[in-house]
């Protein structure tokens, strides 16, 4: 159902992969099959922080709560998303270093 003013919440299971190696440092969350996240939605993964020693990786199953954006929030994110992305870019056309 399309919600205009109050967000829906959905609890799902997910797989969290954390890597801490020389080649890669990062975390990736994969929601179970059939669950999609749309613009403006928020995902909160529950549980204690996953601490991975250098040179190792870890994979854990966790519960996650998806808070769905309202109709108005979704429209706002789609309208302003490109502008916010442009703030991340830095352009330089000179030979000088910054």
pLDDT tens digits, residue range 29-60?
A: 999 988 999 988 999 999 999 999 999 999 99
- Please state the pTM of the whole predicted model: 0.71
Residue 68's CB is within 10 A of a number of other CB atoms, namely 19
C-alpha span between 69 and 75 (Å, rounded): 9
């Amino acid at each position: 159902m399309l919600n205009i003013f109050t967000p829906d919440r959905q609890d799902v299971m997910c797989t969290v992969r954390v890597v801490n190696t020389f080649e890669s440092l990062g975390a990736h969350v994969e929601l179970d099959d059939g669950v999609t996240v749309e613009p403006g939605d928020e995902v909160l993964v529950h549980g204690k922080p996953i601490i991975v020693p250098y040179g190792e990786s870890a994979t854990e199953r966790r519960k996650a709560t998806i808070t769905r954006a309202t109709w108005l929030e979704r429209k706002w994110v789609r309208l302003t998303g490109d502008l916010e992305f442009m703030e991340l870019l830095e352009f330089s056309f000179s030979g000088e270093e910054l």
